[in-house]
């Protein structure tokens, strides 16, 4: 499997609603970043489903290399 496309060099701040399910784009190809639009088909990547626990702002990974999928862990700072 190839590396994911870096969609953004930093995180995406997103307001989420408690109890709602979301699908984070793991491949970096989606036109609806940071969410999946199905562009991963045939890439070997799958979106990451998560459910918001609270109404809050979360920071979703834009570089697609985080170790804390789907959340930003700062990995983008060390990418070339």
For residue range 13-30, what is the model confidence (pLDDT) as tens digits?
999 999 999 999 999 999
For residue range 30-44, what is the model confidence (pLDDT) as tens digits?
999 999 999 999 999
What's the Cα-to-Cα distance from 15 to each of 5, 12, 54, 56, 76, rounded to whole Å?
24, 10, 10, 6, 21
Q: Residue 61 in contact with residue 7, Cβ under 8 Å?
A: no
Band (pLDDT 50/70/90 cuts) for residue 80 is confident
Cα distance between residue 17 and residue 44, in whole Å: 29
pTM: 0.94
List the domain boundaries for the chain.
Answer: 1-80
Cα distance between residue 12 and residue 44, in whole Å: 23
């Amino acid at each position: 499997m190839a590396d994911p496309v870096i969609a953004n060099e930093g995180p995406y701040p997103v307001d989420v609603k408690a109890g709602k399910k979301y699908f984070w784009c793991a491949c970096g190809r989606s036109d609806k970043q940071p969410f999946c639009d199905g562009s991963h088909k045939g890439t070997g990547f799958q979106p990451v489903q998560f459910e918001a626990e609270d109404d809050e702002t979360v920071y979703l990974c834009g570089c697609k290399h985080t170790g804390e999928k789907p959340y930003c862990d700062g990995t983008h700072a060390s990418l070339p």
